[in-house]
Structures are given as structure tokens and as C-alpha cells.
A and B are shown apart, each in its own frame.
Chain A
Amino acid sequence: MAVWTSRDNIEEFGVSHTESGIPVKESYSAADAPPPAAAPGEFPFTRGLRPDGYRKRPWTLRQYAGFGDGRDTNERLRYLVANGQSGLSVALDLPTQMGLDSDDPRAQYEVGRLGVAVDSLADMEAIYDGIPIESISSSFTINATAPVILAFYVAMADRRGTPRSELSGTVQNDMLKEFVARGAYMYPPAHSVRLCTDLIEFCARELPKWNPISIAAAHMRSAGATPVMSDGFLFANAIAYCEAVLARGIAFDDFAPQLSFLTSAYMDVFETAARFRACRTVWARIARDRFGAVNERSMKFRVHSGGDIDAMTSAEPVNNVARMTLNAFGAALGGIQSLQVPCYDEAYEIPTEDAILNALRVQQIVAFESGVRHTADPLAGSYFVEALTAEVTAQIEAIVEEVTSTGGSIAWITDGRMQAAISQEARSWEERVADGREIRVGMNSSKHGFGGESELAVHEFDPASAEAQATRLKQLRASRDEGKARTALDGIAHAAEHDENVMEYLVEAAKANVTIGEISATFSRVFGDFAAPAGI
């Protein structure tokens, strides 16, 4: 018996339910609401991390961008900054995510397609040409190769003479969710978590302003989990990471303040706001009661939110702007720290320049025109939202208890229990969309009419750019000091075998022009490969 609300039994509750299947009553009164929560900025931070909410400054406006090579991406990032974006978010291509060089036969057809190709330090330097890394933060959606990408970034800073202590940003570095969703993994779970932990430990020592992990729910939701279920698994995974770092003898308060999280805003605005309020409450309690945190910063759930990419329809794509707006508004009501919303052409391709600018404008309109920033936690005291927050909190805590008391996340992922739970929800959701019980306006409901496909101008992949990338890589290998590169790779292999932190070795390798494919092949020889159970 599952401890979460499943969409499978929604019909028992009648017609009204939240997106996660929580029943919703005809109306709410004071009798339904829990006692008032502590003020914004006070433990357990249900009402927000800051006493003044967004009054001084809004969340970080951060749209996900990257394609082709370093120069293409540099141009796109500068364009976004010129239009008011306040943080960068770099999309990396699949070969980079999977540890393959751009001239590897397995990378064929994918170089620079869904993100930018990064093979070596030179590519990182091209992406950041003229961008002041000491004053703007960067987020990298990178997991299996997160240690390598961070090493390239740190090597770039070292070369520029930027102190490591000034670097701010995030690497996703959340391998556990890759095995249950998204699938960008290479090594077995225990070795993967070991590399995540090396990175967290390195940042605790060297990069005090860097978020060494963004523990993510959003991808599990995309794989089919309900929003609340994805949040539950997020905290179970977070506990697994914390236990791995603690096992190295590092005190909780020495790394927890820099842990960050990723869970997204979906179409149900009220459940979205309630989920962010609940997540802050749950994390504050885990940090204090489970891990004995004393530092208040360790108890703060700092979250980046995405939007509902899976709700973006190919039918009448301009309608997606309304969906993006609701996502952004829900996230803002929930008190998030950083936000990206999907783009209206999301169902077609990676975004065009027009589509990504529109997404940034949607965020700006919500931030500067809607009034959502005038006061902290504007929904506080709503009978409905407070009752929902309490229910979501209880469900998340029940999921965490269920997973941690039956082996924990690594066991649940290795034997496929987490995948199976998510797959079951995926199917029930798809059936609900298929027969119109869940409405996507313009797409699946005959009552509202069917929209047509649109002849949108979509992003065009340029195969010539991929070839040029592979050529540059070959030139780099031909021109480097081969002895230095070999020594650096030997150092990485030795550290990997002897449980020594690999990070400084990776930074040295980056400076010796060692490539991401060479480093990943070295890890593969030590750790072996892995195929996760599909859970079906």
C-alpha cells in the first residue's frame, strides 16, 4: 500500500482534486486550517526564507540556454543578460552529459544539438568569453560529468585570476534521480554517489558560494511521478546524499547551507504554492531533527523552480504562454529563489531566440507587473492553501519515512522500486489525458475544440557546427603536451581507485587540456558500467 495519493483512485474522491490527486472540498473554513505558521524568515520557513519576501529583489530570472559550440552559446547568453536576465543557465549537449567527446562515434548526430558541446577547458572559455564570472552566477544542468564540468569552470577561473571564493553558481550533480528519470548515468549508483560526494566535499573547502548539488524532483515528475510524490523522493534522495557526506566526517552545518533543490511549478497554481511551502517545512525539520543542524542556513530549502514542460502542447503553441504565466505566478506565490519557465515552442525543439526572450518576458511581467512581490507569502491564511500545505507536508513526510525505513534511496533505485512507483503513476496520468479526464485545452478535449499544429519557425540544428567542433578537438589533442595529459589522467585513475577526492586532479587535467571523454573513460575503467532496472 502506497503512502502517497495516487491518481488511480481519484474517482473515489469525486471530481475535484489537485494535480497530485489530493481531494479538494467544496469550500474551506477555519476548522480545516492548521494553526498559523511562524512568520516569514522564521523556522520552519513555511512562509518563506526571508522576512521581506521579494520586496528588495525578485527571484533570480534564469532561462536555460545553450546549443552548437561555445561561440553560439556565448552570444545567446549575452543576449539574455542584455535583456535583463539575472543568472545564467547553461544547457549542455547529450554527449557532454554522457562523458563522450565530440568526435566519439557514439556522439554522432548529437553534438551541439540539445545544448552546447563542451569537450575541454577551451570550450568553457569560449562560452564565457567576456562574461564576468565573479559577478554573475551560472547553473549547469550536468550530473554524471558534473565533476568534470565544474573542474573546467574552476580551471577557467584560476587562469583568469578570479578567486575561487568568488565563484557562485550551481551544478545539478544529482545522480540518484538520473537512474529513475532522465537516464544520463554511466557508473553504478554507489560510485556515482561517491563522485557527487567528492564534488560536495571539494566545494565545502574551496568554493564557499557554490551550490554543489541541486537535488531534483522535476525530472521524476516528468517521468510520471505526481508532483507530491516527486517531492517525497527528492527528500529521500537528499537524505542519502547527506549520509554519504557525513560518512566522510564532514559536519552537517559545514556543507548543508550550500545544498540547493529543484522542484517545479505545475499547472495547479494552489498545489504549486502549497508544495513550495510544504517543502520548506519538511527540509527545515529534516535538517534540525534528523541531522542536528544548528546553523539556520542549513535548514533553508533554497529552490530553483522550472515550469510544466510536459504541459506545453504542440497544438496552438501560443496558448503555452498562458501556461508559462500560471507556472511563474504559482512559483512566485510559493516563494522560490530562482526560476526558469518553459518556452512556447518546447513541444517542437529547443527554443528559438524569440521563444526564449518571450519566456524571460513572462517572468519579468509576473515579477514587475503582477504585484506578487509586494508582500511575503501572499496566500498565507487562506483556509484552502493552509489545509493543502498541511496535507502535502504530511504526504511528503510519509514518503520519506517509507523509503528511509525500507532501505533508503540507493536500495530503492538499485532494485527498481522507485522506478516502478513512478512508472505506475505515468501510466495512470497518460490514460487520464488520453480520455480527457485531465484537460489540455486545444489538445485533448472535444468540448473545447481541437487546435491545429502550427507552422512555427523552430530552431534549426546545424551539422556543420558539430563537424567544426570535432575538428577543433582533434587539433587540441594534437597540439597539447601529451606527457602532461597522460600524467594528469594517471592521477585521476589513482585517486578514483584509492578513494581519494578526484576534484583537484580534474582541475589539473583540465589545465593540461585533457578531454571529458578521456576522463570519463578513465572513471569507467575503475567503476564499471551500469544499466538501471526499467521498473515496468
Chain B
Amino acid sequence: MTRVLLAKPGLDGHDKGVKVLATMLRDAGCEVIYTGLHQTPERIALAALQEDVDVVGLSMLSGAHMELTADVLRELKSAGLGDRPVVIGGNIPRHDIAKLEALGVARVFPGGSSYDDIINWFSGLASHRPVS
């Protein structure tokens, strides 16, 4: 079963989208951990480590996604989780998608993306844990 960490970095408090996604992923059979609002990159990496997740999803609507994403990727790497895919959602201008991918982001779902596409993407991920 895919374990998903959904996180809200920074000061932005808009979490309708991430909460809707959390319930849809849960219904699709994922295990979902949602951090809640106002998380620092350090706390997100710590949560990813403690929960041993397969994938980290970041939701950002404040416009600070380039900087916050770079910080989260750095913290994940230093926690030894550089192999876990990071996916971004929220208010992301189209011209930032390639830049985020160049930073090492696995996939970007900007505003207006279909929930079906997002769920399919998560469902296609393999768990990094061996099947017991």
C-alpha cells in the first residue's frame, strides 16, 4: 500500500485542495498522512522520515513554491530520503513547471488539474518497502 505524506509548507492557509485530495487518495487505497498547515521544510522532512512514506506531496498557493520546494528537497536529501518522489500541487504558473522539474520534482499538478489524473499518478507509484 502506498504511503503518502501531504504537506502545506510556508504560511499559506488554503487547504481545500489538499484535504479533498487526502480523502480521495484514502478512498483509492493509499495510506495518507496530512501534516496540517504552516509546516517548515525541516518538519516536513522529519514527518516523512518518521512515517517512512513512499511519496511526498506539497500543496502551495502562496507563490513561494520555487523557494519552498528547493528547501524541502534539500531537507529530504539530508534526512536520507532523496530517493522519495516529490509531487507539487496548487497555484503553480505553467512557466514554473519545468523549473520545478529541473529541481528534482517528480510531477507538478497546477490548479485546474483533474483529480483523476492525480489519483492515477499516485496509484502508479510502487511502494519502496518490500511486500511482506
The B17-33 residues at the A interface (CB cut-off 8 A) are 17, 19-20, 22-24
Asked if A201 is at the interface (CB within 8 A of a chain B CB), the reply is no
A434 proximity list for chain B (CB < 8 A): 114-116
Using known A-B contacts A113-B63, A348-B93, determine if residue A534 contacts B36 with beta carbons closer than 8 Å.
Answer: yes
Chain B's closest residue to A93 (CB) is B11
B12 proximity list for chain A (CB < 8 A): 94, 183
Asked if A254 is at the interface (CB within 8 A of a chain B CB), the reply is no
* Cβ of B3 to closest chain A Cβ, rounded Å: 17
Instruction: Point out the residue from B15, B94, B110, B116 that lies within 8 Å of A534, measured CB to CB.
Output: B15
Are A108 and B62 touching (Cβ within 8 A)?
no
* Cβ of A98 to closest chain B Cβ, rounded Å: 5
Are A453 and B15 touching (Cβ within 8 A)?
no
Using known A-B contacts A427-B20, A458-B93, A536-B34, determine if residue A349 contacts B63 with beta carbons closer than 8 Å.
Answer: yes
Majority secondary structure, B binding face: loop
Are A98 and B11 touching (Cβ within 8 A)?
yes
* Cβ of A188 to closest chain B Cβ, rounded Å: 15
Are B40 and A106 touching (Cβ within 8 A)?
yes
Asked if B13 is at the interface (CB within 8 A of a chain A CB), the reply is yes
B24 proximity list for chain A (CB < 8 A): 427
Q: In which size bucket is the chain A interface?
A: 35 or more
* Cβ of B57 to closest chain A Cβ, rounded Å: 14
Asked if A224 is at the interface (CB within 8 A of a chain B CB), the reply is yes
A504 proximity list for chain B (CB < 8 A): none
Asked if A421 is at the interface (CB within 8 A of a chain B CB), the reply is no
Docked pose: A434 CA to B24 CA in angstroms: 13
Chain B's closest residue to A222 (CB) is B16
* Cβ of A111 to closest chain B Cβ, rounded Å: 10
- Give the total of B residues in contact with A, Cβ under 8 Å: 32
Asked if A226 is at the interface (CB within 8 A of a chain B CB), the reply is no
Are A95 and B16 touching (Cβ within 8 A)?
no
Interface string of A207-226 (1 = CB under 8 A from B): 00000000000000011100
* Cβ of A159 to closest chain B Cβ, rounded Å: 30
Measured CB to CB, the residues of A under 8 A from B are 94-95, 97-98, 100, 106-110, 113-114, 178, 182-185, 222-224, 313-315, 347-350, 423, 426-427, 430-431, 434, 443, 453, 458, 461, 531-532, 534-536
Measured CB to CB, the residues of B under 8 A from A are 10-17, 19-20, 22-24, 34, 36-38, 40, 62-64, 67-68, 91, 93-94, 110-112, 114-116
Q: Would you list 9 pairs from A and B whose C-beta atoms are within 8 A, ordered by A residue? A: A97-B11, A98-B38, A109-B68, A313-B112, A314-B110, A314-B111, A434-B114, A531-B37, A534-B15
Q: A427-B20, A434-B114, A531-B37 are in contact. List 13 more A-B contacts (CB 8 A).
A: A95-B11, A106-B11, A107-B11, A109-B64, A182-B13, A183-B13, A223-B16, A314-B112, A347-B91, A349-B63, A427-B24, A434-B116, A534-B34
